[in-house]
Amino acid sequence: MKWNRHFNAMYASSAQQICNGIVESFKSFKQLSKLFGSGELVNKHKPPNYRKPGLFTELLIINY
């Protein structure tokens, strides 16, 4: 993530923590996909969800 120019443009540590959390969630999802594909995982997995359908949230990031 550190090489991404959008990630480097963010100054707030909370925004960086959110991005890191999302990256970790998708890494886990990718590992589960491999396990499911090889037959080691019985239950089907879902991609990470961050909001319920129909609900909208605004994210405002201000750079000074």
5-61: per-residue pLDDT in tens?
766 676 667 677 878 888 898 999 999 999 998 988 888 888 877 666 666 666 666
**For position 19, what pLDDT does the model report?**
80
Closest by Cα among 21, 15, 2, 13 to 61 = 15
Q: Is there a contact between 2 and 8 (Cβ–Cβ < 8 Å)?
A: yes
- Residue boundaries of the structural domains of the chain: 1-64
Q: Is there a contact between 10 and 19 (Cβ–Cβ < 8 Å)?
A: yes
Three-state SS letters, 16-51: HHHHHHHHHHHHHHHHHHHHHHHCCCCCCCCCCCCC
In this predicted model, which residue has the larger pLDDT, 64 or 46? 46
DSSP 15: H
**For position 31, what pLDDT does the model report?**
92
